[in-house]
Amino acid sequence: MIDLTVALAGLLVGFVVGLTGMGGGALMTPILVLLFKVQPLAAVSSDIVAALIMKPVGGGVHWRRGTVNLELVKWLGVGSVPSAFLGVLLLKASGQGQALQDHVKLALGLALLVVAAGLIIRPLLSRGRKAGDSVVPLVVKKLPTVLIGIAGGLVVGLTSVGSGSLMIILLLMLYPKLRLSELVGTDLVQAIPLVASAALGHAFFGDFHLALTASILIGSVPGVFLGAQLSSRAPDRIIRPSLIVVLLASSLKLLGASNVLLGVVIGLFVVAYALVLLASQRGERAALPLASK
């Protein structure tokens, strides 16, 4: 049976994904676990299969625009495709019954913490991006790129998080001069075989629920479309800290933190984000005189 409340949550998550470019797994999976009380493994499996249908939509747009670095996609896939399937096998081998569900919750909570930290430092990584947004041939660093694929694939196979959230942070760190449009397009296209591998593994060895996946897609497909239409006017200074707070709260609840610890950690992360944002703005102001010369 289609669950309309899950579809409504999918609409909200899809809208945020279209608005910000953030991967949906970092939001949809914890919502399913914490709000709808879906078993963690079922939430991960069903969300990954839904992502398999969603990823080609955005990737196709960038493919037609020519903003995809196929060389980069190839070497990311060399690492991510086998490691995503391996991540599902490791998950299945980590236990059965409640022990398996506990392992999924732990992995998901840790992955969300990493993504939240990545969102905090992303303004620093993106600093000066416009100055480097010129057409310069990209030299692909094969081994580091494969390692990023391996790390991202494992995390996605274990938690459904990372294909659009964690890996774009790693690509920013490794390729600081990669054009913005090419960064987003490459990340979307490389996620297609990555998610396909993870989805295949979860279809065979996970706890995939067709009705749950269909409910997510009914809401998320129009949500992504609407969010993408408004993305050029998105108030990033409001959206990004809101996402950080949501991810932190979800992560700490999955890890069993008390409300007191939750408040303290969120406060510390808010302060850290404010300091990073201030440093990023100072760097941009300092770069302006150099750019005008």
User: Largest Cα–Cα distance of the chain, in whole Å?
Assistant: 64
In a domain, 289, yes or no: no
Domain span holding position 128: 4-280
**pLDDT, mean of residues 40-60:** 83
Is residue 286 domain-resident? no
pTM summary value:
0.76
pLDDT for res 239: 64
Share of the chain above pLDDT 90, in %: 24
Asked whether 273 and 241 are in contact (CB, 8 A), the reply is yes
Report if residue 167 sits inside a domain.
yes
pLDDT at 252: 82
d(CA 269, CA 285) in angstroms, rounded, equals 24
Query: Would you say residue 94 lies in a domain?
Result: yes
Q: Is residue 119 part of a domain?
A: yes
Q: What is the pLDDT of residue 132?
A: 45
Which pLDDT does position 72 carry in this prediction? 93
**Is the residue at 147 inside a domain?**
yes
User: What pLDDT shows up at residue 131?
Assistant: 44
Average pLDDT of the residues of the chain: 80
Please tell me the predicted confidence (pLDDT) of residue 167.
83
pLDDT digits (tens, 9 = 90+) for 89-144: 988 887 777 787 888 888 888 888 888 887 777 766 666 555 444 455 788 999 99
pLDDT in tens, 221-264: 888 777 766 654 555 566 667 777 777 888 888 888 887 888 88
Cα–Cα dist 217/223, whole Å:
9
At 22, the pLDDT band (50, 70, 90 cuts) reads low
d(CA 188, CA 1): 31
Return contacts of 267-273, CB within 8 angstroms, 24+ apart.
269/116, 269/120, 269/244, 269/245, 270/241, 270/244, 270/245, 272/120, 273/120, 273/240, 273/241, 273/244
Q: Per the structure, how many domains does the chain have?
A: 1
Q: pLDDT band at residue 277, thresholds of 50, 70 and 90?
A: confident
